[in-house]
Structure 1
Amino acid sequence: MITISTLYPLKFEPILKEKVWGGNKLNTLFQKEAIGEIGESWEISGVNENVSVVSNGSLKGKSLNWLLEVYKHKLVGRKVYRHFGNTFPLLFKLIDACEDLSVQVHPDDFLAKKRHNSFGKTEMWYILDVEKEGRLILGFNEKMSQKKYLKALSENRITEILKSEPVKKGDAFILKPGTVHAIGAGVLLAEIQQTSDITYRIYDWERPDTNGQMRQLHTDLALDAIDFNSSKTKLEFSEEKNIPLTIGTTDFFSVNKLILSQNYIRNFEVKTSFTVYMCLEGTAIIETDNYSEEIIKGQTILIPAQLTEIKFNTNSASFLEVYIP
């Protein structure tokens, strides 16, 4: 019989996704042991048919859904559990774009609930690596209306009205639902998002998928989802060592950056949710009263809400720190 005292920092088996636009950086930089052109590593997921499984400690082999059913608020926090129940609210990914991703848009909560009985998709991107001239597509390069958009679409000029933004390592962006977007070739990033796999594809570079078939476009569905007045998405933030600094906050999650050059104790008594760390650089040992776990570059770890304090043993490591406010 497993008791609540067995909760500890949890790592999960990566769920690797082969994509026509994928590359090999998840292998070469993050040791994901992938085979083929892997575009995505789902680090922690509660998405149906893609539910994460614990890879460490006494709970190894247990699914994230099982943990929620057994531990409830002890895993995610009382406020989070009251709102989301046995649905894990966030999805964590690493994405390697060897080629351009499709141009797409995601619905908000209202539209996603109405059409798909799903959450919408607010997301944040943090750039981990970028090749020369790497870029993102973020919104439109001119004042846009539905009429102008449909005209460009009908004339096969969609790429002419898209805004291309150069990026560098360490840049971060919040993408609200309705923002037309795509990840450009040569960009490796971490993605934090609401638990949703609803995507409306607008344009796919006239490229077949891994089976040689043209992927479906969702022109009509996308039309009602697009925000033609989407605002600035790039985040401005400072960096300082050995203190969590805010990168960005949405209604659904908050993200800090934590750069460590020495051992560090992180207290969670004022937080009301679980905390997730995505390791950007270096290595550390995360300790609790009765457990320790190594985390290295490219790995992700969940700190259950029941734990009120952890210690990082390191002389060089950096993390994204994610929680629900």
Structure 2
Amino acid sequence: MNNTPKLYPLKFTPILKEKVWGGRKLATHLHKRGEGLLGESWEISGVRGAISEVSNGALKGKEITKLLIQYKEEIVGATIYKNFGNEFPLLFKFIDARETLSVQLHPNETLAKERHDSFGKTEMWYIMEAEPDADLILGFNKPMDLDTYTKELSENNLAAILHHEKVQKGDSFFIAPGTVHAIGAGVVLAEIQQTSDITYRIYDWDRPDINGKLRQLHIEEALDAIDYDKPDAKLSYSKEKDARVQLKSTPYFEVNTLQLTQDFIPDLSTISSFVVYMCVEGNTELHSEGFSEKLIKGETILVPASIRNIHFKTKGAKLLEIYIP
């Protein structure tokens, strides 16, 4: 007799990360339960040392890696299981920046594999909230190459050559590996990225961490990892309602928006991977094969690859829909 529970849309317990630059909006605006300066809520993670656990239904308490061992392609899809095995390939976060984050970049696939035996880190952001005059740091404010960068660095001039881009709610940005970037103060965003925690920090505002110590910088490692060209980061997308609107397609993930004003049935028939929904505005209820789960702003749910029939009941919600093409 098979006692293995049938799969259903899965929620996970957020893994909350206290950060010196964090604030309280993850708790007050996104309903996270935690004290202190909360900078990040890891919604679904297979990163070693921070493995997500199911928070709903019959599989409550199970780690996502153990689910992969048990259910294999039923969770993630056959191709993805073949490529990644029991390693969950994406990391989903909500981030609250009370202060500007460190200026950083992430290595590409080749460098990450060579140096860290890790995936590279391609990521994207969706701005959920932005205070007036909030901005992001994206690349440089003048033409740059290795020699120019090294000269500016030697003169302690890095902060002066960074490009600041104003942001508002609804903006979205693609952060390719090598892009120098930082989330600015007053921004709350959703982040989708490859499963990797490799970061090269190049400037941290001379700010001590929560333990009162200056954080390590990775000046030398970053030199040949930086993409010195101007990044084409900001994404343009249609504001069409009650339809799937593509934000970005990469080999690592595809991200769409669903701006819903009424009940909606997404067509998952051509998608062979798991599908994750992040609620960035409003609230909805996901229904699937006799199962239902509420989703409010700041919550995330994973629809296993074995489930293709779902529908949303709502009077108003905005969702990010993410899967692997």
Q: Work out the CA distance in 2 between the residues paired with 1:193 and 1:83.
A: 17
SS of 1:163 mapped into structure 2 = strand
Alignment-derived partner of residue 244 in structure 2:
244
Alignment-derived partner of residue 291 in structure 2:
291
In structure 2, the CA distance between the partners of 1:216 and 1:262, relative to structure 1 (3 Å rule), is same
Amino acid at match of 1:37: L
Alignment-derived partner of residue 280 in structure 2:
280
Q: 1:109-120 residue pairs with structure 2 within 5 A? A: 109-120=109-120
1:290 Cα deviation after fit: 2.5
Alignment-derived partner of residue 10 in structure 1:
10
Residue 79 in 1 paired to residue 70 in 2? no
1:268 Cα deviation after fit: 1.2
Q: CA RMSD in A?
A: 0.9
Query: TM-score, length-normalised on structure 2?
Result: 0.98
1:20 Cα deviation after fit: 0.3
Residue 133 in 1 paired to residue 133 in 2? yes
How many residues are treated as equivalent by the alignment? 324
Residue 227 in 1 paired to residue 227 in 2? yes
Amino acid at match of 1:267: D
In structure 2, the CA distance between the partners of 1:288 and 1:146, relative to structure 1 (3 Å rule), is same
Q: Work out the CA distance in 1 between the residues paired with 2:175 and 2:249.
A: 11
Q: Gaps (5+ residues) in structure 2?
A: none
Q: Work out the CA distance in 1 between the residues paired with 2:242 and 2:309.
A: 16
1:260 Cα deviation after fit: 1.2
1:132 Cα deviation after fit: 1.4
Q: Deviations for 1:202-221, whole angstroms, at most 9, x for unmatched residues?
A: 00000000000011100011
Alignment-derived partner of residue 19 in structure 1:
19
1:230 Cα deviation after fit: 4.3
Alignment-derived partner of residue 147 in structure 1:
147
SS of 1:225 mapped into structure 2 = coil
Alignment-derived partner of residue 29 in structure 1:
29
Alignment-derived partner of residue 123 in structure 1:
123
1:267 Cα deviation after fit: 2.7
Q: Deviations for 1:115-135, whole angstroms, at most 9, x for unmatched residues?
A: 111000000000000111100
The answer on whether the counterparts of 2:138 and 2:231 sit within 8 Å (CA) in structure 1 is: no
Instruction: Give me the identity figure in percent.
Output: 57
The answer on whether the counterparts of 1:128 and 1:280 sit within 8 Å (CA) in structure 2 is: yes
Q: 1:91-110 residue pairs with structure 2 within 5 A? A: 91-110=91-110
Q: Gaps (5+ residues) in structure 1?
A: none
Q: Work out the CA distance in 2 between the residues paired with 1:265 and 1:104.
A: 39
Alignment-derived partner of residue 183 in structure 2:
183
1:228 Cα deviation after fit: 0.9
In structure 2, the CA distance between the partners of 1:165 and 1:72, relative to structure 1 (3 Å rule), is same
Q: Work out the CA distance in 2 between the residues paired with 1:73 and 1:154.
A: 51
Amino acid at match of 2:134: G
